[in-house]
A = this chain, B = another copy of it.
Amino acid sequence: MRPNKRDELVRKALQVFYRDGFHATGMDKLVVETGVSKTSMYKHFRSKEDLILAALQLRDESFRKWFLCRVEELADTPADQLIASFDVLGEWFQEDSFRGCMFIKAGAEYQEQDHPIHVHAATYKKLMLEFLTDLARKAGARDPKALGCQLLLLQEGAIVTAVLVKNCDPAKDAKTAARVLLENALG
């Protein structure tokens, strides 16, 4: 049984794109870093951008799965889970490989709103918003949509800040703010 070359390619390409950027990573570099031949790449994917989309898809699934599972491990109630999501963010920020949000990067490098890569990044953010809004509803917020949006803003802000601002603890700051907003939304 031969190892799945396509999956290996996507997995490794994801790492390279995440570390070095999309436009800044050429196909020849991917050959070297993934150990997969260029011919095989074009056998599995029609173009570089299709490969990027597959990498984003993998990132989407694996990261969200990890995130949601981790939130559920840390807290039982919807309200506690909303707060715990910021602890999970903090865990992520502490990882050596942390380089910010791959979907923010995708949206930044592919800015045309109808570009498939941009669309994929937007879809991912929409799913995170829905997750937060759903938890906010379950937690009994008077306006779950508003609270969900506000918590998303904190999360996105924390991610950007974790990349760019030194000597600060954005996950912790965001968690503190989230507590205040949650209390306000439930009270």
Binding site for B on A (CB under 8 A): 19-21, 23-24, 99-100, 103-105, 107-109, 111, 121-122, 125-126, 129, 146, 149-150, 152-161, 163-166, 168, 170, 173-174, 176-177, 180-181, 184
Contact A21 B153 (CB under 8 A): no
Residues on B with beta carbons closer than 8 Å to the beta carbon of A157: 152-158, 160
Give the complex CA separation of A21 and B20 in angstroms: 15
List B contacts of A158 (CB < 8 A): 153, 157
Please, which residues of chain B bring their CB within 8 A of the CB of A121? 164
A23 and chain B: residue at smallest CB distance = B23
B166 touches A149 (CB 8 A): no
Enumerate chain B residues within 8 angstroms of A163, measured Cβ to Cβ. Answer: 107-108, 111
How far apart are A52's CB and chain B's nearest CB, in angstroms? 13
A104-B160, A150-B174 are known; give 15 further A-B pairs, CB within 8 A: A23-B23, A23-B24, A24-B109, A104-B104, A105-B108, A107-B160, A129-B165, A150-B154, A153-B177, A154-B157, A156-B156, A156-B157, A180-B180, A180-B181, A181-B181
